[in-house]
Amino acid sequence: MTVRRLLAAAALCAAVLWVTPAHAQQATPAAPTVPERDPDQNLDALQPDFTLSSLPTTLRLPRYRFDFRVTHRFGRPLNQGDFGDLLADFFALDSSAQIGLELRFGFMRGTQGGIYRTNDRTIEFFVEHNLLQQSDTSPIGLSALAAIDGTNNFKDSYSPVLGAIVSRKVTRLGALYVEPIWVNNSNQLPSEIVDDNDSFLLGLGGRFRLRRTVYVVVEAAPRVAGYDPDTTRWTVGLEKLVGGHLFQINVSNGVGTTISQLARGGSADDTFLGFNITRKFWR
Amino acid sequence: MLQSRSHFSLWVVLLVAFGSLACDEKLSDLAGPSPNLQPTFASVQHEIFEARDASGRAACTECHTDVGGRTPSGGLNLRHEVAYASLVGIASRNKAGAVRVIAGDADNSYIVHKLEGRPGIVGERMPRTGGPYLTEGQMTILKRWIATGANND
């Protein structure tokens, strides 16, 4: 009998010990854990995308989130033939295009990287780290950029890129960009037979807000030193922001869209129609 | 606010990776059938003037030589010892006003016109075997030697 009582007491103690924590939790319920929203997920109305047209911006990609971009640059020059010819080709949409697909991922807070492939078989890998965000204490945003592209599916002619992206958002107007960028091996001939094998370009651009979700984008990439064939590459575009999508139609003087392709310049005579579509997978 | 410190090592790794990349194109790929061709006179002499290359292109010295008492074709003697003095700054014997090699000016050097078969040349495109001719890459390297001063290097 004594043994039974001891066993019963032990069982009761065990039951009390087992139940007490749960009871205690019920008695003092913890505050509901609401996941903290990453501020990088908020829409930046003055800087709604990671690129202007081809030049990068300082927009941060939220950690562990994706962004996808598709680019088209139609190969038929808009100024070829008369307007009837252009209409017959439906404003160059009938022509072949240089198409690019990009997947971008935020793999750390403030750090994003990705891969971009164009159908001339150029593959570009890039990483961008945001060093400074514009705030009350900082008049500018600043990011560092590193990239490398290679032709023939990244088997030939590699062109590394290092640069800085400086942005300045202007209240209600939009954002301005200055981007000093160095491109190695911009000249695709062996260094033994060329004078310059590097280009130093100064990306200049802006995104200007016309309406709440409509923007005008301009960018140019003048080469200030080194290899500088043809003429300065430029693009002008019109954008519409719709939820997680950004649609851009643009006109430029070249079809290349990687940084090293910008360093190789644009046409002095021809202009080309193109478009970009980006999708952010968190809105 | 600066946020870079925690990722500094990432950027160091990236920069080291960039520095270790061999980014430049190979000259041998451009040179094609004469993979050892360089933009120097010694190399041009050895790889183009004196050698039949892998494409089967005839050596220039098969005709342009005085070896064995022969008369160099067109008065251009590309024998090793006299080739440079026969080319750079020397007027063409067949085309009035043309200079065989103008140091620093490949585009107006008559040897380039003859090898590319440009309009206005006197006689045939070289080699006059009817091909194979020098490839675009070989011509690029030859022109680079001229453009950089056509030195006797």
Residue-wise burial string across B60-76, b where 16 or more C-beta atoms lie within 10 A, e elsewhere:
bbebbbeeeeeebbbeb
**What is the per-residue pLDDT for B148?**
94
Q: In the predicted model, is pLDDT for residue A10 greater than 60?
A: no
- Note the helical H segments in B21-135: 27-31, 41-44, 83-87, 110-116
Contacts of B3 in chain A (CB under 8 A): 109-110, 130-132
**Residue A24 reports pLDDT greater than 80:** no
Q: Say if the Cβ atoms of A127 and B14 lie within 8 Å.
A: yes
Alpha carbon of B152: minimum distance to chain A alpha carbons (Å)? 17
Whether the per-residue pLDDT at A12 is higher than 50: the answer is no
Overall domain count for chain A = 1
Q: For A165-199, what is each residue's pLDDT tens digit?
A: 999 999 889 999 999 999 999 998 888 888 889 99
Q: What are phi and psi of A118, to 5 degrees?
A: -110, 160
Give pLDDT tens digits for B94-132.
999 999 999 999 999 999 999 999 999 999 999 988 889
**Is residue A124 predicted with pLDDT exceeding 80?**
yes
Please tell me the least confidently modeled range out of A33-37, A43-47, B97-101.
A33-37
Alpha carbons B79 and B84: distance in angstroms, whole number:
9
pLDDT tens digits along B10-47: 666 666 666 656 577 889 989 999 999 999 999 999 99
Instruction: Say which CATH number the domain at A80 has.
Output: 2.40.160.40
Does the beta carbon of A158 lie under 8 angstroms from any beta carbon of chain B?
A: yes
Whether A11 maps to a domain, the answer reads: no
Q: What is the 3-state secondary structure (H, E, C) of A40-102?
A: HHCCCCCCCCCECCCCECCCCCCCCCEEEEEEEEECCCCCCCCHHHHHHCCCCCCCCEEEEEE
Of A137, A146, A160, the CB nearest to B23: A160
Please judge whether B4 and A129 are an interchain contact, meaning their C-beta atoms are less than 8 angstroms apart. Answer: yes
Selected for mutation to probe chain A from B8, B11, B14, B146 (highest A CB count within 10 Å) is B14
Q: What is the CB-side half-sphere exposure of residue A120 using CA atoms within 13 A? A: 20
Using the predicted structure, report yes or no on whether residue A32 has a pLDDT greater than 80: no
The tokens of A5 are what? 């009582």
Q: Which residues pair with A160 in a beta bridge?
A: A148
| pLDDT band of A22, cuts 50, 70, 90 | very low
Q: Is the dihedral of CA A187, A190, A195, A196 positive or negative?
A: positive
Domain range enclosing A60? 48-280
Q: What is the mean pLDDT of residues A213-239?
A: 96
The verdict on residue A24 lying in a domain is no
What mean pLDDT comes out for the span A272-282? 95
pLDDT of residue B42: 96
Is the separation of the CB atoms in A159 and A197 below 8 Å? no
Please report whether residue A21 resides in a domain: no
Q: Please state the domain extents for chain B.
A: 27-147
The neighbour count for residue A123, using CB atoms within 10 Å, is 17
Q: Report yes or no: A18 at the B interface, CB cutoff 8 Å.
A: no
A202 within domain boundaries: yes
Which residue does chain A place closest to B1, by CA atoms? A132
